[in-house]
Amino acid sequence: MAKRIRKANLPQKTCATCGRPFAWRKKWERVWDEVRYCSDRCRAARPKQAG
């Protein structure tokens, strides 16, 4: 039987665009260190870099 992980124990980050906290998701398992935005909407609305 698999060990259960409670949502309260999942790692969290703060979205770089909206500033809201978001929790780890299974689909981000391999790229969690690179995830910066909570959703596609926030990723699309990110501030443009000068250059």
Q: What is the pLDDT of residues 1-51, one digit of tens each?
A: 767 778 788 899 999 999 999 999 999 999 999 999 999 999 999 877 665
Quote the pLDDT of residue 16.
Answer: 93
Residues 6+ apart with CB under 8 A from 12: 21, 22, 23, 24
The pTM (predicted TM-score) of the whole model is 0.73
Quote the pLDDT of residue 9.
Answer: 85
DSSP 8-state secondary structure symbol assigned to residue 42: H
Quote the pLDDT of residue 50.
Answer: 60
Smallest CA-to-CA distance from 13 within 45, 41, 37, 29 is with 37
Quote the pLDDT of residue 26.
Answer: 92
Domain boundaries, the chain: 11-44
DSSP 8-state secondary structure symbol assigned to residue 7: G
Quote the pLDDT of residue 51.
Answer: 58
